[in-house]
Amino acid sequence: MTQSFDDTELMAFADGVLDEPRFSEVAAAIEADPRLAERLELIVAGGKAAGAVFAPLAGLPLPGELTARVKAAIAAHEGRVVPFRRRAAAWLPVAAAAAVAAIAVGPIAYFAGGGREAPLVAIGAPLAPALTAELGRLPSGAETRLGSAVLRTIATFTDASATLCREFEVDGPLTTVAVACRNGAEWRVAIAIDAPPANDGYAPASSLAALDAFLGSIDAGPPLPPEAEAEALARP
């Protein structure tokens, strides 16, 4: 029997806020029904957040190697069960172009401190000292204020090379979704994506598509449980 889902449910699914068991029911229906998947595509593609973030980036030249890597990661994720629950955007084919554009641009998040703006998150750079300290101690799911910004730790995991990484969000005028991986005592930003914040402060699904592609490309493992996370963060 075919189930029906209204637009509100589909958008909640795309943003990862639809409760179980409905979340799993929508996921299964999308995989089985191309028309439903197309409908979800149109809902997300027409959202204000997606238009505001990605439309100005459509004409940017992108490195061929990066384009191929992200598209391959998205293709590999279609139909797979991914480790982070809210990754509904992995089912959206329209996410490919947005994912490539977001990763290529490399945004920076800022926080106010000492009377001036200081960089907090920048791709390929070490984290700001204040963020380094908090990322090394806060458990996943915690929040803390850094100047005018709010840091929210999402998950801790390891990549294919067993490097410890953390997904986090920095909320300010924009929400920056980022992953940083530890190299000795240093945390280095691997990906950072800016997006207008959702009403609840969490990043919308339009940002998570690029994150999904990146996590697939590094073969990210499942989130560490609290005890294992604490032990991993405590290790030098």
Percent of the chain's residues with pLDDT above 90: 21
Residue 49 lies in a domain: no
What is the C-alpha to C-alpha distance for residues 204 and 18, in angstroms, rounded to an integer?
13
* pLDDT at res. 156: 95
pLDDT digits (tens, 9 = 90+) for 104-157: 334 444 333 333 344 466 666 677 888 889 999 999 999 999 888 899 999 999
* pLDDT at res. 84: 45
Q: Structural domain tally of the chain? A: 1
Residue 14 lies in a domain: no
Most confident of the ranges 1-15, 53-67, 164-178 = 164-178
- Asked if residue 234 has pLDDT above 90, the reply is yes
Contacts of 202 (CB under 8 A, 6+ apart): 15, 16, 17, 152, 169, 175
DSSP letter for each residue of 113-167? ETTEEEEEEETTSBPPHHHHHHHTTPPTT-EEEETTEEEEEEEEEE-TT--EEEE
Local structure of 89: helix, strand or coil = helix
The whole-number average pLDDT for the span 171-180 is: 84
Local structure of 170: helix, strand or coil = strand
- Are 170 and 110 within 8 A, CB to CB? no
Most confident of the ranges 2-16, 23-37, 39-53 = 23-37
Phi, psi of 102 (to 5 degrees): -65, -40
- Asked if residue 161 has pLDDT above 80, the reply is yes
Lowest mean pLDDT among 38-52, 142-156, 183-197: 38-52
The whole-number average pLDDT for the span 227-233 is: 95
Q: Which amino acid is at 120?
A: L
Better pLDDT: 15 or 27: 27
49: pLDDT confidence band, cut at 50, 70 and 90?
Answer: very low
- Asked if residue 40 has pLDDT above 50, the reply is yes
Phi, psi of 145 (to 5 degrees): -95, 135
What is the C-alpha to C-alpha distance for residues 70 and 73, in angstroms, rounded to an integer?
5
Residue 171 lies in a domain: yes
H/E element holding 11?
helix 7-14
Provide the 10 A C-beta neighbour count for residue 29.
Answer: 18
pLDDT digits (tens, 9 = 90+) for 51-82: 444 455 455 555 555 556 656 655 554 444 44
Residue 205 lies in a domain: yes
* pLDDT at res. 152: 92
Residue range(s) defining the domain that contains residue 222: 105-234
The whole-number average pLDDT for the span 41-58 is: 55
H/E element holding 186?
strand 186-195
Lowest mean pLDDT among 30-39, 40-49, 194-203: 194-203
Quote helix, strand, coil % in the chain, to nearest 5: 40, 25, 35
* pLDDT at res. 206: 52
Contacts of 61 (CB under 8 A, 6+ apart): none
Residue 177 lies in a domain: yes
Contacts of 190 (CB under 8 A, 6+ apart): 123, 165, 178, 179, 180, 181, 214, 218
Residue 208 lies in a domain: yes
pTM for this predicted structure: 0.53
Percent of the chain's residues with pLDDT above 70: 56
Residue 157 lies in a domain: yes
